[in-house]
Amino acid sequence: MRRPWAPPRACYAEAMTAAGETVTVGIREMGVRARAAARTLRSLPTGRKVQVLQAIARELRARQEPILAANAHDVRAALDAGVPEPMVARLRLDRASLEGIAADVEAVSRLPDPVGERTPAQTQPSGIRVSQRRVPLGVLGVIYESRPNVTVDVAALALMSGNAVILRGGKETVHSNAALEEAIRAALVALDLPEAAVQVIRDPARERMRELLRLDDLVDAIIPRGGAGLHRYCVENATVPVIVGGIGVVHLYLDASFTRDPADVQRAAEIVVNAKVHKPSACNALDTLLVDREALPALPAVARALLEHGVDLRADPEALSALQDAGLPARPAAAADYGTEFLALTASIRVVAGLDEALDFIAAHGNHTDVILTRDPAQAERFVQDVDSAAVIVNASPRFNDGGQLGLGAEVAISTQKLHARGPMGLRELTTTKWVVMGEGQTRR
């Protein structure tokens, strides 16, 4: 049954009875329903999951008008509340962006399904045959902020990897997320699958989030996607395991070997501009530019390109002097400008005495995405080996540390921790393994 969209009440979630009545569902009940749905999803064949995602894409297109109307309501409320324009821009949907979301769902449906992968069986001295099989995590709790596209991206990844998911978006997206949830539910119901496979918490109160974080008997993993404050709150309040990521300082080290050719200096400027300007609010945007002292003559050309895009430059004394001598505006960097994730058109610059000092600096401040621009293969290999970050990049923009760009199709988040998953989390990262032992009556001696 397809229900017309209407603005949601301030409730935890909504569900329908067999008679078509809408009922309020609490967080614990959401967890119970998600756990039951996960049992169904974990055994779905790949073809069935592909059908679900294709149905979701169709529903998104068919429900374009009510989804955009709901989003317009959220945008007006955000503007009335004085929400900064960059955040409103992340919230806003239009026909083109909604079509892009539907296309992304279809792209996920074309990805290889990791569920059911098996390692070759090994026969042990006892005669048992041992292998591992890849399985879904189970029930995911994903907490995020003002991007409604995340609602659909995460739902698609969860379903394709055989997981149920409980979604908690920001208060700015309540109406948008409710409309998107309706589209997803319609697709699930049409294919006779449990609509509780994807549930959105519609009450933005922080207490609801806290309840989700403590649902450790029903939820298998919490994945926060937002700023440092959100991650810290989840870690400090959760009894469910939390996969932390998406925050961290991004560095780019400009080696002298990449500045000896004027064409390379131009390439360096283009890469640095892309790293900082392409999407300043993204977690993989450049924060700190490290410049080899021997590459200092190339700094004005790189800085000039950044300034043309309105970037606020904060430089150490040596870099500041080089910029001022070139007639370029910059301000002295404070200690806090290093190790800071700006998420804005701001960048810090520091001069280092070669690769060793750059590596030491990154070791003290990095863990997310770090880049080297170099023409020296030995320098590149040492950088790759020494830097302990979620992604290490040679001669390209840090903006490539993204699930879609790395061939994952989409991502739930970028993990910066080391247990279970690291880097962009796609389908495979939403699964785990179990041991399978086949015997013929053996007993242990």
Looking at residues 151-172, what average pLDDT do you find? 96
* DSSP β-ladder status, 249-254 and 288-292: parallel
Task: Determine the pLDDT at residue 246.
Answer: 63
φ and ψ at residue 262, rounded to 5 degrees: -55, -35
Render pLDDT for 47-97 as a digit per residue (tens, 0 to 9). Answer: 999 999 999 999 999 999 999 999 999 999 999 999 888 788 889 999 999
Structural domains in the chain, sorted by start: 13-243+425-435 (3.40.605.10), 249-407 (3.40.309.10)
Render pLDDT for 243-289 as a digit per residue (tens, 0 to 9). Answer: 987 678 999 999 999 999 999 999 999 999 999 999 998 889 999 99
Task: Determine the pLDDT at residue 414.
Answer: 84
What confidence tier does 13 reach under pLDDT thresholds 50, 70, 90?
low
177 has pLDDT over 60: yes
Task: Determine the pLDDT at residue 312.
Answer: 97
Contact, 120 vs 436, CB < 8 A? no
Model pTM score: 0.82
Looking at residues 310-338, what average pLDDT do you find? 97
18 has pLDDT over 50: no
2 has pLDDT over 50: no
Q: Which residue has better confidence, 416 or 239?
A: 239
1 has pLDDT over 70: no
Render pLDDT for 366-413 as a digit per residue (tens, 0 to 9). Answer: 889 999 999 999 999 999 999 999 899 999 999 999 888 888 777 888
Distances in whole angstroms, Cα of residue 444 to Cα of each of 121, 124, 440, 441: 19, 12, 12, 10
407's CB contacts (< 8 A; 6+ apart) are: none
